[in-house]
Amino acid sequence: MAAEFLDLPQLLFAAGTVRLPGSKSISNRVLLLAALAEGETEVRDLLASDDTERMLDALKVLGVGTTHLGGENWLIKGCGGQVPIKQAELFLGNAGTAFRPLTAALALAGGNYVLKGVARMHERPIGDLVDGLRQLGADISYLGNDGYPPLHLKPANLVLGDSVKVRGDVSSQFLTGLLMALPLIGQTATVDVVGELISKPYIEITLATMARFGVQVQREGWQRFTVPGGSRYVSPGTIYVEGDASSASYFLALGAIGGGPVRIEGVGSDSIQGDVKFAEALAKMGAQVEMGPNWMEARAPQSGLVAVNLDCNHIPDAAMTLATTALFAKGTTTLRNIASWRVKETDRIAAMATELRKLGAEVEEGDDFIRVTPSTLKPAAIDTYDDHRMAMCFSLAAFGTPLRINDQKCVAKTFPDYFERFAAVTKAALVIAIDGPSASGKGTVAAKVAAALGYAYLDSGALYRLTALAAKRAAVDWADEVAVATIAAELDVEFSGSDIRLNGELVGDVIRTEEISVGASKVAALPAVREALLFRQRAFNKAPGLIGDGRDMGSVVFPRAALKVFLTASAEARAERRYKQLIEKGFSANLADLLLDLKQRDERDSQRSVAPLRQEADAKLLDTTHLTIEQAVNQVLVWSREALQ
């Protein structure tokens, strides 16, 4: 499968309103309790995502009735604690919120089950939960490494001792899983937490959701939890899933960095989710935050965001958003007490540090902390480690630089249309794309329009010319696609003003010779070379805006350009212009040869299979055969002003 990626232009500002998808944590808890309850439950606003799909699939395999009512609404037919199918193999992907609670529920419900996931799921610890369940007599064996999935559960005679002891300092999902399963025993059961309980707000969600299904857990602080004998789950009839507070964090941060206000709806001060506390953390960074029962809003402070030093144990997921927000805060931000990051979808501390460094930030990491000092950001291709939150967090960095997000579709775990919502509330630096054949004068026009608008200028043809020159110098044949693409990917070029440097050497004139023009046209026809130069071109899409000139600016590189111009002139007029240029520079030239050469190059540029030169349907045609440069520039400026309004 071809690698997928999303290239983000630099963002100028953010404002707008977003209605959030349902909370992942609440969705999967509600699904499981609805399945175990007596009676039918109509679940409204369920999150549609990979993780909830894994849970729904598992429930179906277990014989629980699940009916899609349309939209985000489902009807779950509860089994009253008696799981209908007693022998099954469940595949749970990388969904921790499905794996842990199902392990506990099925171990206590009794049956013969195999629970598996993706490779990463098999690296995520579950031993503490299994130890807890074994204290109740559950028969669980490891099919791979001790302490990790996959698991084999068998029917067992349950025994109730004084209390079950479970570690609370690795993942709160172990305690959640146990607590949600305990009513299946039917007798009073007590859990003692060993070690400091992390991510306490997730336990609050567990207790609140159990209460909605009729089970009141008694607790002594965060140390001891008792499920009274005779507790059983009963459907509340209809239950609404709150918007996802962790997902809210990205949009609040967008408002805090990008001006705002950005308002999110579906979660607010009435929420049972701990991650709403993210808003407080953002306010500590200086953001102006307001909130109502089911909405929150953030905007940027006048004086800019400031760094914080924060214990993030209570907001482990949303704290990741602080790590990329820190790129825009003055000073060094330290996020402490985040050891749980190391056992999530990926080792999030390591992943975050590696990718922040790619952007130019200074990062220090420890077992349970990360420290981020911002600097001027530079374009980079960000890896996401199959971790939805990595992809969403790094989208914020686009306020500092254009960037590439690899495998962006991993957001489907919790927020499949994240990037559509993101685009709807952000405004990116604009592009004016000017495409056309050789010597049409587009370079001159583009540079003048850029100067008039104060925009940056990308001469994309120069990149193909530089590639041809670099290949020639390395004695690489222009037809050797792999070798030329490698050279293109590693080009050390610098554009400053009208100067173009290759490996530090000024090459502005060298790349304009006829020989290199021919070479450029040849290497430009190689798909791997075009691919290697794609991100390098998009990295020019910075604030305040960009004029790009070339052959495929409007079709491939910047398909969302605010204005697309197809600038051309008759071959004869172009040959004549080129002839004059050369003579003026003191080179000898022959008009007939130039015309022939130009026609051959036109042919190659427009007939090649990748990104051929052609006028896009939405491009405006500007024929400059009979126009002066001035007239052509003015026409593009008139169109630009219309497009930029």
What residues act catalytically? 317
Q: CB–CB of 367/324 below 8 Å?
A: no
Least spacing, CB of residue 440 vs ligand DC, in Å:
9
How far, in Å, CA of 611 to CA of 220, rounded?
A: 67
Kindly state the tokens that stand for 619.
């491009």
Residues 92-111 that bind ligand DC (CB under 6 A): none
Among 22, 78, 461, 545, binds ligand DC (CB under 6 A): 461
How far, in Å, CA of 370 to CA of 349, rounded?
A: 7
- The span of 264-272, 280-288, 478-486, 551-559 binding ligand DC (CB under 6 A) equals 551-559
Among 52, 460, 555, 624, binds ligand DC (CB under 6 A): 460
Least spacing, CB of residue 537 vs ligand DC, in Å:
8
Residue number, 27 or 460, with CB nearest to ligand DC = 460
Q: Does 456 bind ligand DC (CB under 6 A)?
A: no
Least spacing, CB of residue 540 vs ligand DC, in Å:
12
- The span of 215-223, 308-316, 459-467, 488-496 binding ligand DC (CB under 6 A) equals 459-467
Least spacing, CB of residue 581 vs ligand DC, in Å:
12
Residue number, 100 or 608, with CB nearest to ligand DC = 608
Kindly state the tokens that stand for 119.
């490779």
- For residue 356, CA distances in Å to 257, 285, 287, 379 come to 17, 19, 22, 11
Q: CB–CB of 114/143 below 8 Å?
A: yes
Q: Does 77 bind ligand DC (CB under 6 A)?
A: no
Phi, psi for residue 291 in degrees, rounded to 5: -150, 150
Least spacing, CB of residue 585 vs ligand DC, in Å:
16
Least spacing, CB of residue 464 vs ligand DC, in Å:
3
The beta strands (E) that lie in 300-352 are given as 305-306, 309-311, 329-330, 333-336
Q: Does 558 bind ligand DC (CB under 6 A)?
A: no
How far, in Å, CA of 279 to CA of 260, rounded?
A: 14
Residue number, 30 or 524, with CB nearest to ligand DC = 524
Name residues whose C-beta falls within 8 Å of residue 15's C-beta, 6 or more positions apart in sequence. Answer: 255, 258, 259, 260, 261, 262, 425
Among 176, 401, 438, 624, binds ligand DC (CB under 6 A): 438
Residue number, 34 or 469, with CB nearest to ligand DC = 469
Site string for ligand DC, 395-434 (x = CB under 6 A): ----------------------------------------
Among 24, 100, 348, 601, binds ligand DC (CB under 6 A): 601
Kindly state the tokens that stand for 363.
């990062």
Q: Does 500 bind ligand DC (CB under 6 A)?
A: no
Residue number, 286 or 554, with CB nearest to ligand DC = 554
Q: Does 464 bind ligand DC (CB under 6 A)?
A: yes
Instruction: Compute how many residues bind ligand DC; rule: CB under 6 A.
Output: 14
3-class state of residue 62 by DSSP: coil
Q: Does 524 bind ligand DC (CB under 6 A)?
A: yes
Scan for tokens 């369940």, then name that residue.
Answer: 133
- The span of 414-422, 460-468, 486-494, 626-634 binding ligand DC (CB under 6 A) equals 460-468
CB contact burial 423-452 (16+ within 10 A = b; e otherwise): eebbebbbbbbbbbbbbbbbbebbbbbbee
In 3D space, the residue among 125, 124, 102 whose CA is nearest the CA of residue 115 turns out to be 102
Least spacing, CB of residue 348 vs ligand DC, in Å:
38
Residue number, 297 or 602, with CB nearest to ligand DC = 602
Q: Does 348 bind ligand DC (CB under 6 A)?
A: no
Q: Does 465 bind ligand DC (CB under 6 A)?
A: yes
Among 605, 624, 632, 633, binds ligand DC (CB under 6 A): 605
Residue number, 307 or 524, with CB nearest to ligand DC = 524
Q: CB–CB of 159/137 below 8 Å?
A: yes
Residue number, 199 or 438, with CB nearest to ligand DC = 438
Kindly state the tokens that stand for 63.
């014989």
- The span of 4-12, 180-188, 494-502, 516-524 binding ligand DC (CB under 6 A) equals 516-524
Least spacing, CB of residue 461 vs ligand DC, in Å:
2
Neighbours of 548 (CB within 10 A): 27
Q: CB–CB of 249/5 below 8 Å?
A: no
Among 550, 573, 577, 635, binds ligand DC (CB under 6 A): 550
- Half-sphere exposure (Cβ direction) of 246: Cα atoms closer than 13 Å: 24
The beta strands (E) that lie in 148-266 are given as 151-154, 164-167, 189-194, 218-220, 224-227, 238-240, 259-265
How far, in Å, CA of 211 to CA of 179, rounded?
A: 12
Residue number, 198 or 557, with CB nearest to ligand DC = 557
Residue number, 113 or 457, with CB nearest to ligand DC = 457
3-class state of residue 462 by DSSP: helix
Among 100, 314, 348, 551, binds ligand DC (CB under 6 A): 551
- The span of 153-161, 308-316, 325-333, 456-464 binding ligand DC (CB under 6 A) equals 456-464
CA 43 to chain centre: 28
Q: CB–CB of 60/36 below 8 Å?
A: no
Q: Does 521 bind ligand DC (CB under 6 A)?
A: yes
Q: Does 552 bind ligand DC (CB under 6 A)?
A: yes
Residue type, 513: T
Least spacing, CB of residue 5 vs ligand DC, in Å:
19
In 3D space, the residue among 61, 59, 57, 12 whose CA is nearest the CA of residue 32 turns out to be 59
Site for ligand DC, rule CB under 6 A: 438, 460-461, 464-465, 520-521, 524, 550-553, 601, 605
